[in-house]
Amino acid sequence: MSWTPLDELAASIDDGALVGIPADYGGVSMAASFALIRRGARNLRLVAAPTSGLQADCLIGAGCVAELEAAGVSLGEYGMANRFRAAIAAGSLTLRDATCPALHAAFQAAEKGVPFLPLRGILGSDLLTRRTDWRVIQNPLTDASDPIVVVPAIRPDVALFHAGLADDHGNVWIGLRREVMTLAHAAHRTLVTVEARYPGNLLEDAKLAPGTLPHVYVDRVALVPGGSWPLDFAGHYPADDAALTRYAKASRTPDGFAALLKEWLDAVA
């Protein structure tokens, strides 16, 4: 595998692509998100595994996103995702409201190569009146009345996330974040930014191999230490509390968001 420059990695994501992204705790590639903003990406369709926060808010505020499917969008303890809320109010963003189990099931279906997976927790929810792609069927394994929801597989064009290590073979160590591995299995292509290069073969390390995504699922890797900033990256660095607090305040207005985003883009360029 040859390592990919960050801007080249971002440039490989076509406008209009369906991009699978992790939750804020799952290894968010803010570096790749900033690179997408710098290149002026447009009409991206984000699908979260299963929620999002700063990443979606920045991309939406920068005009990169046409559609978002997620179980929630928030800055957590820092407050509301203001650019997301503004886009919904303005009607400039299509929201496909979902639940965490439904999104996990949809990615698992794609991972398994099946068209859908069933689950029960959505029965009785008004989401079923809005999500016409979610169907209620009769359990085919019993003659008794037993309705169950089936959700279609989601196969992103691209899975995009940040991880701890990659080796020169293209193997990527993701550690405990199994939902990120599922996302990679589900996607057509997987693009990863990583903290560090591993000098050897991760799959030959007895301690690291169980948490390693094999290279057959990985399309491109960029070495970007600190690539989740200003979000935390577990085991490597905490969230930048001051930066996130500033963002939550500045993003309340378009001008405030634009000014802070320019500052961040200049800082990480």
- Quote the pLDDT of residue 48: 98
For residues 53, 108, 141, 147, the Cα torsion angle rounded to the nearest 10 degrees is 10
pLDDT at 68 over 80: yes
pLDDT at 60 over 90: yes
pLDDT at 238 over 90: yes
Cα-flanking dihedrals φ and ψ of residue 13, to 5°? -90, 110
**What residues have CB less than 8 Å from 157, skipping those under 6 apart?**
13, 14, 17, 18, 19, 187, 188, 189
What CA–CA distance (Å, rounded) separates 124 from 46? Answer: 27
CATH hierarchy code of domain 6-98+155-268: 3.40.1080.10
Cα-flanking dihedrals φ and ψ of residue 82, to 5°? -70, -40
Written as one string, the DSSP assignment of 14-55 is -TT-EEEEE-TTS---HHHHHHHHHHT--SEEEEEES-BSHH
Binned at pLDDT 50, 70 and 90, residue 1 comes out as: confident
What CA–CA distance (Å, rounded) separates 55 from 261? Answer: 12
- Quote the pLDDT of residue 191: 98
- For residue 7, what is the enclosing H or E element? helix 6-11
- Quote the pLDDT of residue 234: 86
pLDDT at 235 over 90: no
- For residue 260, what is the enclosing H or E element? helix 254-268
Cα-flanking dihedrals φ and ψ of residue 152, to 5°? -70, 150
Residues found in the chain: 269
Angle subtended by helix axes 254-268 and 54-61, to nearest 10: 110
Report the mean per-residue pLDDT for the chain: 96
**Residue range 45-69: average pLDDT?**
98
What CA–CA distance (Å, rounded) separates 2 from 148? Answer: 46
Domain boundaries, the chain: 6-98+155-268, 119-152
Q: What radius of gyration do the chain's Cα atoms show?
A: 19
